[in-house]
Chains A and B, each alone.
Chain A
């Protein structure tokens, strides 16, 4: 039986009806057509479904949609400001961190989440921070480079 759900998604308040067994991921995709967040395994092992929940990265396939009541969710669609890409997005573009693109939204959210907590990570810290995001195309080198470059850009912007 569906329950009502109120939450904020990418800054917009939303009201929906969801079934108890519906994941946050399925709700975002099937009911809101926010298809940027991807389903890679549906069991938390690949990170393709990563979103920010109250500023922390979480794998949305494991989160009950109803558990997200009153929370603030940010998906990849919420990163761009108008026509301007977030620095992490821009760095992925510029430094070749994108190939097939399926892991990309989740990876970007992990990168954004990392830099919120640790604005100047080392390469090792980046690799561990994205250690829950599987990528089969890039071998991670250019992804790591992109996140490090984004950190530089954001530090420069901040000062």
Chain B
């Protein structure tokens, strides 16, 4: 970025000083006079009919102000996605351990908890189905026996099948028949919790005039508003969502989660009501990722060209439609040119909490499979894993899965960067090894709005409805400052809520820099054009003769003739077109892929199976790094999340019960567990992103599991196809103890292969 004062600079986050001082306000930091505390009673059963609920003892406990059950709220179903299969409270039956059955508002938390113990629920046990393969068998207990009556139901949702997706191209069976080699592998990914530090929290307060105010921890205030309006049967305009500072979400807070309970209790009691989820409830009240099985079959030629791929993915979806199944048809090819393919992706209902969103849900699971499989093939063919990938990797102009062709991108640059930074190939000392993985994602799209106002002193106010998670506010300030030619300090991001800012899409899916940032750039440009137009009018020249820079609009040829932005702002108050305000609104952005190549160097203790990541290198194409420090921070975090997924994290569920809903037993990486991540920012600009920037956040979490599994094979010669790569699995493999069979039954595969699925 030549001649830029602002782009490419490592500005600290605009909110960092508040955060380090403990001044930033998160939802649980809101205290209102007369506030009550809310607790939710959850089902202890994975599958049972509710025969009777008696809340009378709870209601009579001193300090309890209200108790609600499914009978007290609108009966309509809502959903996380296309099909409406959820209720706020279980009504006729419970479908998972943890499903909400009642909610209490009391003067403090300990009283609310005592009240929960006094709610008597009589259940009649039903047979539960807690394994997706079992759920696919004919005659399996049905999680939703009334599925056909749900809004959004499609005929291919039979039995416990929630979603079926497919994608085909060419003639995959003929290509397999003609290939020189065919490889088949099945991979298992584990249950993963998003691990956000701030558990869900929400304060609701209903004004006497009927206005519902909701301070909440959310990534998607407008989506929350819409769903809340639907489930409590009130108009959206009555609901004001105030997104508080977000202490992590990573997808878990993209949809309505706990907000409805304090809202309903506030409507009922006329008092503010607060709910703060416990850490355990981040496993039982909010969906996390459930396990996935991915079967891959690949045909290759002797020279290493991939000619065909079949992928069949089974996503354990839990009791309600959640996230992830899309990745089974969007990411099972990897960033490779494969002319013939058949992809099938199934989401299966089971009696567990729904499978929630976590950073491009499903893509990490699928990438573990694809990038492990890629290495297995390379090694069997005697090819170098880097060379094999290089040979098959996308080039600009190749057909894109999404339609059209792959635009300009930095995939090959990232591969080359990792190779040279790491020095590949190289001899490693005994017990150590290196493994690669490539990641792909797309810059997110979706409705985005922004408006930029010039204040009378020449400073600038930016208003967008987006929630700042990754430091996007700082980048928006940089974009605005760069476009208008002002200092960073002169740009202020307005505090916003759903009343103040127009609709904008959620903060997730790597959407914000690319789409929202584009809207910000367009709004700032709109404001700049209006400033120039006003100055042109007063100077009586053509707009094309003016420059907007350094806080002024002036004649390019004679710079002393011009106005400061402050002067123009004041002049605009009485001008024909009124105060200067730039606006932008967009709904879809062109496809802009994100690619990354990662390499893990590991050390394996052959006597105990313990694996340590000693180095982690990643090169990612970020388009243009508007704030390199912020970008690096983002990809550092994603990589460490991936390392956790690779080695230590697993939500252990037995018969529908989560055995480790606690940070004592759900193990995420701490500082002494990971090295400093080595980052290389590759910059191949997009045509459409703000100043050429791509989205950044999600890809780094996809590659580590495969990179580490590949490194383990490089180090000690064993291949693990099931996550996490625990010491036990590695040691057993070293001792030649084959794991219990993890391959899918051939008949089941055959059924899943057909577009209509089993049944």
Touch test A–B (CB under 8 Å): yes
Contact A142 B636 (CB under 8 A): yes
**Lowest 9 A-B CB distances belong to which pairs?**
A36-B22, A102-B247, A101-B19, A139-B636, A139-B640, A45-B663, A76-B22, A35-B29, A89-B20
Residues of B within 8 A of A138 (CB): 633, 636-637
Contact A43 B20 (CB under 8 A): no
Instruction: Identify which of residues 14-32 in chain B touch chain A, using a CB-to-CB cut-off of 8 Å.
Output: 15-26, 28-29, 31
Contact B632 A131 (CB under 8 A): no
Contact flags A132-159 to B (C-beta < 8 A → 1, else 0): 1111111111111100000000000000
B585, CB-defined interface residue at 8 Å = no
Given contacts A92-B16, A98-B15, 10 further A-B contacts (CB under 8 A): A35-B22, A45-B663, A48-B197, A92-B20, A102-B247, A108-B20, A128-B672, A133-B670, A139-B674, A141-B636
B153, CB-defined interface residue at 8 Å = no
Nearest neighbor of A140 in chain B, beta-carbon distance: B671
B662, CB-defined interface residue at 8 Å = yes
A17, CB-defined interface residue at 8 Å = no
Residues of A within 8 A of B671 (CB): 126-128, 130-131, 133, 135, 140, 143-144
Contact A96 B663 (CB under 8 A): no
Option from B10, B20, B469 in Cβ contact (under 8 Å) with A85: B20
Binding site for B on A (CB under 8 A): 21, 29-30, 33-43, 45-46, 48, 75-77, 79-80, 85, 89-90, 92-96, 98-105, 108, 123-124, 126-128, 130-145
- In the bound complex, what is the Cα–Cα distance between A77 and B663 (angstroms)? 27
Option from B20, B110, B250 in Cβ contact (under 8 Å) with A21: B110
* In the complex with contacts A35-B29, A37-B22, A102-B198, A136-B250 CB distance below 8 A: yes
- In the bound complex, what is the Cα–Cα distance between A124 and B672 (angstroms)? 7
Residues of A within 8 A of B469 (CB): 99-100
Contact A93 B16 (CB under 8 A): yes
For residue B519, give the distance in angstroms from its CB to the closest CB of chain A.
23
Instruction: Identify which of residues 609-642 in chain B touch chain A, using a CB-to-CB cut-off of 8 Å.
Output: 629-630, 632-634, 636-641
For this complex, 9 residue pairs linking A to B, each with C-beta atoms less than 8 Å apart, are: A40-B663, A48-B197, A104-B20, A131-B670, A136-B197, A136-B668, A138-B636, A139-B641, A140-B671
Contact A93 B20 (CB under 8 A): yes
- In the bound complex, what is the Cα–Cα distance between A100 and B250 (angstroms)? 11
- In the bound complex, what is the Cα–Cα distance between A85 and B677 (angstroms)? 28
Contact A142 B633 (CB under 8 A): yes
- In the bound complex, what is the Cα–Cα distance between A89 and B20 (angstroms)? 6
Residues of B within 8 A of A30 (CB): 31
- In the bound complex, what is the Cα–Cα distance between A40 and B246 (angstroms)? 13
Nearest neighbor of A45 in chain B, beta-carbon distance: B663
- In the bound complex, what is the Cα–Cα distance between A23 and B671 (angstroms)? 27
- In the bound complex, what is the Cα–Cα distance between A102 and B21 (angstroms)? 11
Contact B22 A139 (CB under 8 A): no
Contact B22 A85 (CB under 8 A): no
Nearest neighbor of B279 in chain A, beta-carbon distance: A41
* In the complex with contacts A93-B16, A104-B20, A139-B677, A43-B672 CB distance below 8 A: no
Residues of B within 8 A of A77 (CB): 21-22
For residue A104, give the distance in angstroms from its CB to the closest CB of chain B.
5
- In the bound complex, what is the Cα–Cα distance between A98 and B197 (angstroms)? 13
Nearest neighbor of B13 in chain A, beta-carbon distance: A98
For residue A107, give the distance in angstroms from its CB to the closest CB of chain B.
9
For residue A7, give the distance in angstroms from its CB to the closest CB of chain B.
19
B664, CB-defined interface residue at 8 Å = yes
B21, B248, B470 pick with most chain A CB within 10 angstroms = B21
B648, CB-defined interface residue at 8 Å = no
Contact flags B365-386 to A (C-beta < 8 A → 1, else 0): 0000000000000000000000
For residue B56, give the distance in angstroms from its CB to the closest CB of chain A.
27
Residues of A within 8 A of B662 (CB): 41, 43, 45
Residues of B within 8 A of A132 (CB): 670
B575, CB-defined interface residue at 8 Å = no
B276, CB-defined interface residue at 8 Å = yes
Residues of A within 8 A of B726 (CB): none
B127, CB-defined interface residue at 8 Å = no
B98, CB-defined interface residue at 8 Å = no
Option from A37, A40, A89 in Cβ contact (under 8 Å) with B197: A40
Residues of A within 8 A of B24 (CB): 101
Option from A85, A100, A144 in Cβ contact (under 8 Å) with B676: A144
For residue B637, give the distance in angstroms from its CB to the closest CB of chain A.
4
- In the bound complex, what is the Cα–Cα distance between A35 and B663 (angstroms)? 22
Contact B276 A39 (CB under 8 A): yes
- In the bound complex, what is the Cα–Cα distance between A128 and B668 (angstroms)? 15
B259, CB-defined interface residue at 8 Å = no
Contact A101 B641 (CB under 8 A): no
Contact B15 A101 (CB under 8 A): yes
- In the bound complex, what is the Cα–Cα distance between A105 and B634 (angstroms)? 19
Instruction: Identify which of residues 220-275 in chain B touch chain A, using a CB-to-CB cut-off of 8 Å.
Output: 245-248, 250
Contact B663 A134 (CB under 8 A): yes
- In the bound complex, what is the Cα–Cα distance between A90 and B242 (angstroms)? 29
Contact B668 A134 (CB under 8 A): yes
For residue A122, give the distance in angstroms from its CB to the closest CB of chain B.
12
Residues of B within 8 A of A139 (CB): 633, 636-641, 674, 677
